[in-house]
Amino acid sequence: MNGGAGIPIGPDGNPRPLLPPLSQAHAGRKCLVLDLDETLVHSSFKLIPQADYVVPVEIEHQFHNVYVIKRPGVDAFLQRMGELYEVVIFTASLSKYADPVLDRLDIHRVVTHRLFRESCYNHRGNYVKDLSQLGRPIEETIILDNSPASYIFHPNNAVPVSSWFNDPHDTELTDLCPFLTDLLQVDDVRGILDGGL
């Protein structure tokens, strides 16, 4: 039912959740875990003429430009979610790419924590985001992700979202805002989020 490996235990024998204790500012809030690539943005090493921004990323001592386009509605979506939830970005990407992208994306400074590939659980070659390791009540944790493999341990905590690459008419993030607002009233999100949907 709960899924996942649970909170990791450090070398000292004490629990080492992926997130620090909930801050006073977020007391009483549920945790919203957001994927980055193909959920909030699309990035490419190939030139995208209409890129929202270009991020230089160092790979093996060479800098490469990463062209990033933002999913329609992402700025307003993040701002709204930051008013309602403790917002965590959890990406299977490396921090040297994702950090500078998030520095540019999070214009309202609503992302409380950032988790990267090293925080994923390698399950049969897939990078799984194990929500049981976060240190948040699982019944109050929601993950929004375009890849079902990444929430395989917690399908009943997931709000699936379609993969986005460049459709300028996409409205999915905007459309999800009322639903995610309604979820705040639910004691256990797993009763609403049926992974089979």
Residue 4 within any structural domain of the chain: no
Residue 11 within any structural domain of the chain: no
Give pLDDT, residue 184: 95
- Which residue of the set 35, 106, 130, 145 is catalytic? 35
Contact 144, 131 (CB under 8 A): no
Residue 1 within any structural domain of the chain: no
Give pLDDT, residue 176: 97
**What residues make up the domain containing 146?**
25-191
CATH of the domain at 63: 3.40.50.1000
Contact 114, 97 (CB under 8 A): no
Give buried/exposed letters for 117-145 (b at 16+ CB in 10 A, else e).
eebbbeeeeebbbbbbbbbbebebbbbbb
Count up the domains in the chain and report the number.
Answer: 1
35 as an active site residue: the answer is yes
Residue 95 within any structural domain of the chain: yes
- Which residue of the set 37, 106, 130, 145 is catalytic? 37
Q: In order along the chain (197 residues), what is the average pLDDT of each group of 10 residues?
A: 76 91 96 98 94 92 94 98 98 95 97 96 91 96 96 95 97 97 95 70
Residue 6 within any structural domain of the chain: no
37 as an active site residue: the answer is yes
* pTM, 2 dp: 0.94
